[in-house]
Structure 1
Amino acid sequence: MTQDPGTLAQETADRLAGDGVGAVVAAVVGGHAEIRGAGRVAVDRPDTPGADTLFEIGSVTKVFTALCLARLAVAGTVDLDEPLAALLPEDAVVPSRGGAEISLRHLAMHTSGLPRLPKGMFLRSLLRPGAPDPYAGCTARVLLRGLARTRLGARPGERFQYSNLGAGLLGLALARRAGTDYASLVRREICAPLGLVDTVVNVEGDRADRLAQGHDGDRRPAPPWNLADLAGAGGLRSTATDLVAFVRAQWDGPAGPLADAVRLTREVEHPTGPSSWAHLGWVGHRPDPARGGHAQIWHNGGTGGFSSFVGFGPEQRTAVVVLANTRTSVDAAAARLLATLQREHAAPARP
């Protein structure tokens, strides 16, 4: 018997809130979504987070950045294979290797050869409990100065190497070409066409009352992350309501240039393993391919006080959105829920 998606979403939210502070989970099947919340918006506030509670979504932002690239490529404003250097100031120095330049495509697919973090930043600075925003000093000037002193770990286009620096530079470069800032670019190219009213870089006005408090792994309040000019790597806040609309656009979006851009993000593909690959922004894998496992397209995110996951099964038109106000990963619970929805809503095998 098919399990009720709302019940599955509530059970997942309850488990995550029990392990952390609060969580919101959406289970999407075709055109229908069930959104459930559990726990608290903060350890000292009894309110339960819901569909319109704002969370930092961390690296899920990268999917928005990549879709902005696809939108501008469809419009002819940029080319996927255009060098990054062409979108930066004339005096910017962009490293190359083996005669290959870093292109916009490379940045969106993490095949640029750039390191994970900007020059001078270390992974331990991201993991230190209670530390202030480690990206606060990542202004365009600092990023470009560090870029000039960066050595690539591989020839651009050669191999997948996850890079916050690369995704942030992509957002910076696209905004510069479009003559605006990153927040305005996302609002114009994605949020306005899809009707996303709460996907923002800066939380102001009445949205501030709906913003969850982040917490570290010990449930202590954690300061927000803003990412400065590296916002394209992880600076967005959003809600389950907006992210459901965003993920449904992957199979049921409005016709026209946005639909063309969505298709472009998934037409571009780079293998990362025997049963895994990277798209523009998204990553994908097929669990247990020997037994006919269903393909999953997804991205996760994490900041000092939040964790997130957005994933979907393109063949079954199912999706999962998970948002938590604790930095503990939600990936395992989200992937299990997505696999359950895919299994229960897969088309019957043909005789």
Structure 2
Amino acid sequence: MKSPATDPVSTYLPRLAGSPIGGVTLEELASHRGAVPPFPPPTMARGLWGLLTNTDQLSGDQLDWVLDQAAAMPLFGGRGTVQYSNLGATLLGWALASAAEQPDWQTYVTTRLLTPLAMTHTRFAATRDQIPPDAPRGRLVGGRQAVQGVSPVYQPAGSSTWTTPEDIARYAQAILRGTAPGLPALDPRFAGEQAASPGDPRIGYHWFTLTVAGRTVQWHNGATAGYTSMLVIDRLAGRAVFVVGNSTRPVDPVAIRLLTGVADGPGSTDVPMPVIALAATTVALILIAGAGFAAYRARTRLQLVRATAGALLGLSLWRVAGPWDHAPGLLWILVAAATAANVMLGIARVRSRPWHRPRLAALSWAGAVLALAAAGLVLSMGLH
């Protein structure tokens, strides 16, 4: 069954009937012009927690729940403006599967794309046992190993796609030969609204078009926790480049430069330090400095214990969430060594002094226990 691009998505996903998102057309979803929010609000909140704790927050969402959430959501801004939406891509994938009378999106895309192109190593993990056993592990900003996400719902948005360079090469070659299913999706149809991107970005059905040094290329990138990727294609020159990385650093500029010889395009070669890493560093250094001063001023043993616990909290936070793909790890070692030296000097000063002041014992013990518990929590989050 062919699904006209102008059909509203509720035609194929009846649970969305009568809702603002249900009236968005398939074409608007495919071009990210439907004003669909990025994710349902509860998923957004859990996603933020997942970033902080390095845990998978998408695996629990089920299709009916996502559809009910979407049916209750208002549009996010005005239709007609490009605003990238993973929820929109998800709804489109399931709508296309429904239109093709397939039981799920994975069956649909396997029948439509993977089997015709012999992409036998590409899979979509709905559960952890579907992750390839030899899959490389991703890394987060601080060098931590990223949790490998899975999802039974968000697969059309690329939440848990596993593939190989060989399979992507088959796909790119089919595009260059003009034999890939859905080839018209690459054709630019609408003006893009990406002010940060140079050249002349435009969008087709999920594919972006960019002019770099007089050459017109089509591209799409991807990013999940600990992984980034970029496929860029110059159909006129008959060339394509695919770059994938197991870190959070974008590979877009690398792919653009490999294809065109120009360091230009989406993203930037000068990757800014992530906001979370900056915030964590600021908080951690304040904790470490404050604890160091408290250790220097300690007049009882318990005051020193509390200061040491605060320093451990700061050091733990900095180690787990600091910008260690931008800054040398030696910096953390030096600060930790200076902190340890300060604590040792404090031990020498208070060794013959009482454990606590009589009226402040409970408060001092509570502060020390809370700081140690917080440090343990931060470290446990970093060891996921």
**Do Structure 1 and Structure 2 share a fold, with TM-score over 0.5?**
yes
- Output the amino acid matched with 2:216: A
Quick one: which of 321, 324, 327 aligns to 2:242?
321
Change (3 A) 1:105 1:210: same
Aligned partner of 1:135 in structure 2 is: 58
d(CA) in 2 for partners of 1:253 and 1:181?
27
Q: Deviations over 1:180-216 (max 9, x none)?
A: 2111111110011111011110389998333111221
Aligned partner of 2:139 in structure 1 is: 215
Quick one: which of 59, 82, 88 aligns to 1:166?
88
* Greater helix share, structure number: 2
Identity %: 24
1:298 aligns with 2:219: yes
Quick one: which of 157, 160, 165 aligns to 1:240?
165
d(CA) in 2 for partners of 1:130 and 1:238?
26
List aligned pairs for 1:62-211, cutoff 5 A.
76-89=1-14, 91-93=15-17, 95-96=19-20, 101-122=23-44, 125=48, 128-156=51-79, 158-177=80-99, 178-202=101-125, 208-211=132-135
d(CA) in 2 for partners of 1:268 and 1:154?
23
Change (3 A) 1:252 1:102: same
d(CA) in 2 for partners of 1:114 and 1:243?
29
TM-score (norm 2): 0.61
Superposition RMSD in Å: 2.8
* Greater strand share, structure number: 1
- Output the amino acid matched with 1:169: L
Instruction: Give the C-alpha shift of residue 304 in structure 1.
Output: 0.8
Instruction: Give the C-alpha shift of residue 151 in structure 1.
Output: 1.1
Change (3 A) 1:147 1:206: closer
Question: Does the 8 A contact of 2:50 with 2:56 survive in 1?
Answer: no
Change (3 A) 1:167 1:319: same
The count of corresponding residues between Structure 1 and Structure 2 is 255
Aligned partner of 1:265 in structure 2 is: 185
Structure 1, unaligned runs of 5 or more: 1-75, 343-351
Q: Deviations over 1:295-338 (max 9, x none)?
A: 12111111112111111112211111111112221122222112
Aligned partner of 2:149 in structure 1 is: 225
d(CA) in 2 for partners of 1:329 and 1:127?
20
Aligned partner of 2:301 in structure 1 is: none
Question: Does the 8 A contact of 1:165 with 1:233 survive in 2?
Answer: yes
d(CA) in 2 for partners of 1:126 and 1:86?
35
Instruction: Give the C-alpha shift of residue 239 in structure 1.
Output: 0.7
- Output the amino acid matched with 1:250: I
Change (3 A) 1:214 1:82: same
- Output the amino acid matched with 1:269: R
d(CA) in 1 for partners of 2:152 and 2:130?
22
Structure 2, unaligned runs of 5 or more: 194-198, 264-384
- Output the amino acid matched with 2:146: A
Q: Which has the larger radius of gyration?
A: 2
d(CA) in 2 for partners of 1:330 and 1:321?
9
d(CA) in 2 for partners of 1:125 and 1:205?
25
d(CA) in 2 for partners of 1:230 and 1:153?
19
Change (3 A) 1:192 1:230: same
d(CA) in 1 for partners of 2:128 and 2:20?
40
- Output the amino acid matched with 1:322: V
- Output the amino acid matched with 1:270: F
Question: Does the 8 A contact of 1:138 with 1:227 survive in 2?
Answer: yes
Instruction: Give the C-alpha shift of residue 217 in structure 1.
Output: 2.0
